[in-house]
Amino acid sequence: MSQNRRNISRRKFLKLGGGVAVLLPLALIATDRAAAQGKASKEAVQYQESPKNGQKCGDCQFFTSPDACQVVEGKISPNGWCSLFVKKAS
């Protein structure tokens, strides 16, 4: 009886461990996808959809027309702003 109990516990433990072993790498892959592209998430750089102190994505050296950024992931508005702003050389 006690041997049977131990086997069940071990089985449950292995099942849980197997689930974690499968899910953890998948979660890490999903969250690191942006990092693998070499781009920061909008949240990490405090991206906003409006200009800040006269600075906007359309004037930033990292902006790529019409709606992308070389260093921040996702769709970027030319009127947006983030903490990585660097004024485009004129």
72 binds ligand SF4 (CB under 6 A): yes
Q: Which of 62, 88, 89, 90 binds ligand SF4 (CB under 6 A)?
A: 62
Give the phi and the psi of residue 41 in degrees, each rounded to 5: -75, 155
Which among 3-11, 15-23, 28-36, 57-65 is the span making contact with ligand SF4, rule CB under 6 A? 57-65
**Segment (H or E) for 33:** helix 33-36
Give the tokens for residue 6: 């131990």
Nearer to ligand SF4, 31 or 79 (CB): 79
71 binds ligand SF4 (CB under 6 A): yes
Measured CA to CA, the distance from residue 52 to residue 44 in angstroms comes to: 17
